[in-house]
Structures are given as C-alpha cells and as structure tokens.
Amino acid sequence: MGKTLVGGLAPWLLCLALACDAGAGGPEPMTHFIHDSDGRAMILRGVNVMSSSKSDPLRMPTLEAPDVTRMAERWGFDFVRFLIFWDALEPEPGVIDQAYLDRVEERLDWFAAADIAVLLDMHQDVYSARFCCDGAPEWAIHDDGLPFELQGVWFANYFQPAVVRAFDNFWSYEGEHRQLQDHYASAWAAVAQRFRDHPAVIGYDLMNEPSPGSAFDALELGRPANEDGASATFDRERLGPFYQRVIDAIRREDADTYLFYEPRYGFPGAGAASYLPTLSDPREGEARLVMAPHLYSIGLEATGAYGPGDSTVPDWEARRGLESGAAGTPVVLGEWGLDWSTTDADRFGEDVVSMADRLMAGWAYWSYDPGSWGFWDPATQTETGGVAHLVRPYPRRVAGEPLAFSWDAAAGVFSLRWRGAPEVTAPTELVLPARLFPEGYDVDLGADADAASQSVDAARGVLSIRLPADGREHQLRVTRR
Ligand code: 9MR
C-alpha cells in the first residue's frame, strides 16, 4: 500500500469509527425511471462484464454465449454493464477501430437474445494501461514527464504525480490539451452511431470513476457538505461541463439511448456528497439522463471487516436520494461489490441490496469475474461467495409507476405497489427465482384478482401479470409456499 494512501486513510477511518454526520437529510422517494419501448418502468439488476477485459489484448471479456443465458436463467439478471475502452476504440487520434466494435457487437447480440439490457461503460482505472490499469490510449497521455512508481494496491496509483497530471491535463479544457476531451466526445459519438439501434443497448456510461486529479480532497469523507472545497469546484467547473460536452456530442448521433453519468471517483462512492451541476439533455421530449453512482465501503476494504458503525450505506442512500431527486433522474448503481471473505460480508451485501430496493434503483454487481469478489467459478461451474444476495425477486418491468417494492427473505414474501398507466398495455414482469420458491408461490392481487391474467416463463422465473390499463393503484404480494 502506498504511503500517500495510508496517510489519506487515517481521517476516513477515524470518521467511520466516530460515525461522522453525513450532513444529509433522509432519503427522497425516487420518482423517475428508465422506460422500455412499451412505456414500462425498468428495474435493472445484473452484473459488470468484466474486469478480465482490461488486460485482454483485444479488450474482450472472458465470456461466452452460455454465460449470458446463465445470467438470465440462473440468477434472474436483466442487465449488464459492459466495459469498453478508449484505447481500443481510438488507438490512433481520429481513427476508430470498427473491428473492435464488431467484437463488441457480437457480445451485444448474445445479450439481446437473452433479453438482457446493456449499459456500455467507457471504462478507465488510473487513466491508462501505461500506468497499471486501463483507459486512455498512449497518445492521449500528457503527464509532463512527471514520475510514476507502481504501487502495490491498484488505486494507490491514482496519487502518483504522472497520473495526477495526466488527469489535470485532460480536465483542463481551456488549457493546451483541449483536443483530448474533443477526441473523447467524438469517440463516444462513433460508439453511438454504431449502436444506437442495437436492441440490447439501453445506455452509455460516459466515464467510469472520473478521478479529479489534483482536486482530490482527502478530508472530505463523511464531513458535512463543503460547497467551496476543491472537489465541489472540480464537479462544477470540470466534470459537469465535460459531461455536457460528451452528452451534446452523443446526442448529435443518437437522440434516444439513455446517458448515464457518475459522480467523481473517491468519496461519493462511500457516501459523501457530489456537487455535479444539473446536466441538460438536448433531445426533444423527456430527458434521458441517469445517475449511475458506485458504492464501496472504504472501511470494509481497508480493514477486511464491515464495522458495526460503518455508515456507508445510509449515507449513500441519503445523498444519492437527495441528488437524484434534485436532478430528476433515476438511479442505477453502476458498481457495488466486495470480497466475500470479509468479516460480516453478508450483512454488507444485504444492506446494499435492500437499500437499492428502497430506492427502487437498479444495480450491477462488480463483477462477473472469478475470485474472492466473484460469485461463479467457471472452472468448476459452481457458485461462490455472496451469490445468495444477488439472486433476489424484483419487478423487472412495471406497467406504470413503481411506488414501492420489498423482499422479506425470512418470511418469503415479495410485495409491490404501483400505479398503472392508461397507455401502457404490456404486462408487469416479476423476477421470482425458482430457488427462492422451491414449493412454488401464491400471488395475492387483492381487488385486482379477477381482472388479472398471469403467465410464467419457467426458464427465467418470470411471472407476467396483465391488468386492464388504467391509472389506478395496484398492489400484489407473492408468498412462498
Ligand atoms: O476488481 C478490480 C481489480 O481486480 C483490478 O486490479 C482493479 C484495477 O484494474 O480494478 C478493480 O475493479 C474496479 C473497477 O475497475 C472500478 N471500480 C472499482 C472496482 C473494484 O475495485
């Protein structure tokens, strides 16, 4: 672990121990959703595909078509966040590698066949493969010759002078390297032009974990909002305008695909505030912007235990609830994950997924790679780790506006309330994984029972419920037998 990181961790851990006040109010109910072409609200649940792409020379995941079917049928997923990389996309300035996009498209076709929605995520870690990880092509690195020394823990490399400078140069649109952002936006436009009509593609995640470079404020975690701090300035003056440029470039090619944006890398992922300005979607009609934040517990990762005073999840819930309410966007948790050998890992897993249900937010688990963070071992074809937390009932499509849903694992009861919409005639679809209902289930639709028709897709564990399309409120309970 790098020295800077250890030094930087001390105040975070102190804060966790003292359960510092996040300075945010209670969670706001979510009122915005992604919609499918039938007008149904979509709740997206699935997995990141995959960390293994980062080091593959062709930037492809170690994934085959049967993995995709397994995702839908074995775990009930309807969503993946699929990693793509600027270095593969634009290996030389202005040259888009269509053969790379061919390889991506081959995978997208697998997901379309399994009815799994795909978020294309322009991934980066520590700016570029030159420094340890992945992201920008060689020609887009301007580190001004500053030193870089490889650190033992990958994210400690973010504090290396060369990496900090490479980010600062990327963000400085008024500086001498403004063409970096212009290239980045054009590369995205090329992706959009290529995939805007692909049936699997639901959205574009504009940049994975954008690091603020030298605007990193190590004292921020858990503290009351600091509107005047370096991070806030970065969000308002660098990250927000950058996102807007990319949004505008994509929209020139693609009016409809949802655009997902993340808070800056660092403390927001652990529950601190984001200060992103409100972004605008230049498309006609309703905006299609989605907040796609990550969630990781710094305390858990630093100590190997999920401490009883760890307030990551409630802080995150409060912050993202307020921010998405103010921005008028849905929330999809683009990444959450942990090493399942952590002490109290199960409690953390449960805290995250039940919080996401309260927010009615989608999520993509990090990640579909084997290992201690994984849940599937391809060598032995067996499940591992916290798979039990990932297999969970949810309403994948709601004909109208979801109002609340929850799963009580002990009682075996799934509940959903929603308000119908007169123009939405497609059915509401619930994922009810067979392993959770070994003897089957009973569906109670209350007053709607006589008007409803039901059908089951046994392979996927999906129950479809069709009701007369109207604006009334509906309620259902599914009870394990
Ligand atoms: O889990 C990944 C780890 O194995 C890699 O060494 C590291 C650098 O490539 O990336 C990790 O994945 C991270 C992801 O790329 C971005 N968000 C946080 C993930 C977990 O740390």
Are 287 and 206 in the same domain?
A: yes
Is residue 5 one of the residues assigned to a domain?
Answer: no
Are 21 and 54 in the same domain?
A: yes
| CA-wise closest residue to 331 among 44, 12, 1 | 44
Q: How many domains does the chain have?
A: 2
From 339, 365, 392, the end of a domain falls on 392
Are 105 and 230 in the same domain?
A: yes
Are 198 and 245 in the same domain?
A: yes
**Both structure tokens of 193:** 């032009």
Tell me the CATH number at 428: 2.60.40.1180
Bridge partners of 205? 121, 260
How far apart, in whole angstroms, are the C-alpha atoms of residue 468 and residue 350?
35
Domain assignment of residue 122, given as a range: 11-392
Are 381 and 400 in the same domain?
A: no
Are 132 and 102 in the same domain?
A: yes
Atom of ligand 1 nearest to the CA of 208: 16
Asked if the bond preceding 367 is cis, omega within 30° of 0, the reply is yes
Rg (CA), the chain: 22
Are 196 and 213 in the same domain?
A: yes
| CA-wise closest residue to 59 among 120, 142, 143 | 120
Are 229 and 290 in the same domain?
A: yes
Are 383 and 399 in the same domain?
A: no
DSSP class of residue 284 equals S
Q: What is the DSSP string of 199-264?
A: TTEEEEE--SS---GGG--TT-TTSPP-TTSHHHHHIIIIIHHHHHHHHHHHHTT-SSSEEEE-PP
* Contact call for residues 85 and 128 (beta carbons, < 8 A): no
Closest Cα to atom 14, ligand 1: which residue? 125
How far apart, in whole angstroms, are the C-alpha atoms of residue 154 and residue 127?
12
* Contact call for residues 175 and 169 (beta carbons, < 8 A): yes
The pTM is what? 0.94
Is residue 2 one of the residues assigned to a domain?
Answer: no
Ligand 1 binding site (Cβ under 6 Å of any ligand atom): 51, 54, 125, 133, 154, 209, 335, 366
Are 387 and 463 in the same domain?
A: no
Are 377 and 405 in the same domain?
A: no
Q: What residues have CB less than 8 Å from 212, skipping those under 6 apart?
A: 167, 171, 230, 231, 234, 238, 239, 264, 265, 266
Is residue 252 one of the residues assigned to a domain?
Answer: yes
Measured CA to CA in angstroms, residue 94 lies from 59, 132, 191, 318, 427 at distances of: 19, 25, 13, 42, 45
Is residue 68 one of the residues assigned to a domain?
Answer: yes
Tell me the CATH number at 187: 3.20.20.80
Closest Cα to atom 6, ligand 1: which residue? 154
How far apart, in whole angstroms, are the C-alpha atoms of residue 237 and residue 173?
10
State the distance from the centre of ligand 1 to the C-alpha of 209, rounded, in angstroms.
11
| CA-wise closest residue to 166 among 132, 136, 196, 190 | 136
Ligand 1 pocket test, pick from 48, 49, 51, 62 with the greatest ligand atom count within 8 Å of Cβ, gives 51
From 343, 365, 392, the end of a domain falls on 392
Q: pLDDT 10s per residue in the chain (481 long)? A: 232 333 333 333 333 333 333 333 444 444 699 999 999 999 999 999 999 999 999 999 999 999 999 999 999 999 999 999 999 999 999 999 999 999 999 999 999 999 999 999 999 999 999 999 999 999 999 999 999 999 999 999 999 999 999 999 999 999 999 999 999 999 999 999 999 999 999 999 999 999 999 998 877 776 777 888 999 999 999 999 999 999 999 999 999 999 999 999 999 999 999 999 999 999 999 999 999 999 999 999 999 999 999 999 999 999 999 999 999 999 999 999 999 999 999 999 999 999 999 999 999 999 999 999 999 999 999 999 999 999 999 999 999 999 999 999 999 999 999 999 999 999 999 999 999 999 999 999 999 999 999 999 999 999 999 999 999 999 999 999 9
Ligand 1 pocket test, pick from 52, 153, 363, 366 with the greatest ligand atom count within 8 Å of Cβ, gives 366
Is residue 346 one of the residues assigned to a domain?
Answer: yes
Is residue 4 one of the residues assigned to a domain?
Answer: no
Are 408 and 377 in the same domain?
A: no
Is residue 279 one of the residues assigned to a domain?
Answer: yes
- Show the DSSP H helices in 328-392 as ranges: 345-359, 387-390
State the distance from the centre of ligand 1 to the C-alpha of 271, rounded, in angstroms.
19
Is residue 467 one of the residues assigned to a domain?
Answer: yes
From 348, 377, 392, the end of a domain falls on 392
